[in-house]
Structure 1
C-alpha cells in the first residue's frame, strides 16, 4: 500500500479549519502538524500543507534507510536530499541544524547519482514519525491561493482565499466525478479556488451585479466556469455537493426565513452541504432535513465564521 507523509502549518486562529480540512482529506486529523496516510493529495491544494513525502523506504532507524537508498535507480537525473524539520520528536530529542545537514550528506553519499543542491531533477525527503524513519520523493506545496488575492472585483465581506480554498477541499476532497454548486456564489471567491484545483463547480447568485463580478474574476485568472443569475429555488439539476456562504453583505442580506428557504432548496438538490455562516443555524439546518456531521470555526481577530458539514 502506498504511503505519504504530510506536514502542516497553521496559526492558532486557523487551526480548527486546518483540522477539518485534514479530516475531509484523510478521515483523521493530527495535532502535531505531521500525518501519515495512504491517500494521495497534491499538497498545493491545501493552504495549510507545507510538503509531502511519497514514501519509498522506511525503517526503525536511520541506518535502515541509509542501507536501502543505494537501490534507487536514477538514470541521468540529479538529486538533492532534504531533512524535513516537522516531526514528532520530543523537544529533548530534536535534531539540530548541523546533524540535519550530516544526515542529508550521509544519505546523499549512498545514492548512485549526481547531487545538485541548487537545481536537482528530483528532491528526496527524510523524516521521522512515530518512532520510524521515512524516505521518499519530496514535494513542496506551492501557495497557489496567493495568486488569487487581488481580484478585479471584490467586496470586504467575501471569504479570504485561504478559507475559500479550505472550504472547497472540505466540500470536495476528491474531485473525480463530483458535480458541485455554489448557489450563493457572490463574486466567486470559492469558485476561483475550486476551479483552480480542477473541481467541477458551477456558480449562481440572485444578484446580477455579483454574478457579473464572479464571471470577471474567474476569467481574470484564466479559468472557465459557468455562473448563472437567479435564486436557488429555480435550480432543477442534482449535485453531489453544495457550498453555501450564507449571504449577509451589503448586496444580498438573507433574513432567517430566506436562510431556511435556501437550506430547504439545498436539501432538494444535494445530499451533502457545506455551510459557511456567521450565525449558529443548527436548528435551521436540521429543520431543512440535514444532519450535521462535522464542523469548525474560522477566526479572524474578533470575527468568527462557522463551517458546518451536513449530509
Structure 2
C-alpha cells in the first residue's frame, strides 16, 4: 500500500500523454508496436483514485501524475512483471482529465492545456531490471518505474515551453524541455522522483526572484513526496544552477496552496520529515532509446 492512496493499493508538474507521433506510420486504434497502449477508460479509472485534493492546481500536478502512473504500473506489473512499457496518448489523457474534472477544454489548468497543445508523449517502463541496477543506500522500493515525457521533434517547432506557478511562494516559472525523464520510486509511505532531466524552474518573486533573474533557471534534480493522514503533501525538492544547489521543503494543501517548510505547530509531522530526508543512493540502469 502506498502513501499515494491506491484504492485497492510535488511540485514538479510532470505531465503524461500521447497516442500517435507525427511523421510516423499510422497505427490502428489501441495498437502501437513495442508498447501496451493504455486506453482512455483505464486512464479515467486511474485518475479517479485521486479524489481527496484538487488535481487542477499546478502544485498538485506532480502528485496527480505520480499517483496515476504508479496505479497503472502496479496493475500492469501484476499482469506481467516483464511486460512491455505502457504508452499513454496525449489525446486520451486530456479527454480523460476533462471527464474526471468535468471541465471544458478552455477551463483546464494551464499545465494540462500546454501538454495537450504540444502533444507530449509518455512512456512508463516498470520492469525492475530496466530501472535499478543496484541499491547502494536506500530502502527497497515497492515499485520503481522509468518515465519519459516528450513530443516529436519537428524543424521550427519549439524545444521547450514554460508556464507560471502562481500558487507557490515565491511564484515559480516552470519550463518543460522537449524530452524529460525521471525515475519514479514508490517506497510505500513516500515517493521519490529521482534523476530528473529536462525540467527547470526559477522563482519570479521575492529576493530569490531577483537572484534567479541574474543566474538563470535552475535544473530540478529530485523531489521527494509524502502525504499526511489529513491529506497534506510534503515535498523536498533539490535544484541546481552552476555551483548553487538548493534543497527546499514545502507543504501543499489539498486546494493547492503551498507554504515553505513543514507547519511548526504539527509535531506529528516530524516522522514524515525524517522519512523524506533519509539516504537515497541508487545506481540506475541506463535509459534505452532516444526521442
Shorter-chain TM-score: which interval? under 0.3
Give the TM-score of the pair, scaled to structure 2: 0.24
Give the TM-score of the pair, scaled to structure 1: 0.23
Q: Which has the higher helix share?
A: 1
Larger relative contact order (Cα-Cα within 8 Å, sequence gap ≥ 6) = 2
